[in-house]
Amino acid sequence: MSDLSRRTVAVLTTTGFEDAEISRVKHAVEEAGGRVLIVAPEDSPVIGKRGTSYDPDMLSGEADAASFSALLLPGGVSNADRLRTDAAAVDLVRGMVAAGKPVAAICHGAWILTDADAVQGRTLTSSPSLKTDLVNAGADWVDEAVHVDAGEGAGKPLLITSRTKADLEPFIEAVITHVGA
């Protein structure tokens, strides 16, 4: 297992996230020695579709890409849709991409990548319902449990994407491996 000590992973989320897509990844990152911070648009608990609740450690308007080693974008349709309308959340994603830092998105979490102009010429996967949006934004979409796109050229972020919570095991493995690299 990779060592994630000295690594801080931001989880950008709001209410409506897919519970396991945060809890299981968060647990794995912490088990590998990493730190996980919940970043949300508002200073109130974020609640998952199945009742898991987290208090935000930081607001999206206060978050700076320089503070994080990687970014996790969990799914949940309402979660992903709400985040796309939060300018600070989109700015955080853009900042992570501009800094060339790893971004891991699962299920509908990849949706905000279109708003952050982060998919042009990249290959990724997602919930199949996002395929058209991602392709229209310039991505090559693949139907794989997990896809890692290292990009080409300096400053391109590592994009780690997965389809659904059914693919959590290979997604978590890819996150731990590549964030710890």
Catalytic site residues?
Answer: 107-108
* Token duo for residue 109: 């979490």
- Separation CA 68–CA 165 (nearest Å): 24
CB 77 within 8 A of CB 16: yes
Q: Would you call 83 helix, strand, or coil by DSSP?
A: helix
State the CB neighbour count (10 A cutoff) for residue 95. Answer: 18
Return the amino acid letter for 19: D
CB 107 within 8 A of CB 124: no
Using the CB atoms, write b or e for 74-92: b if 16+ within 10 Å: bbbbebbebbbebeebbbb
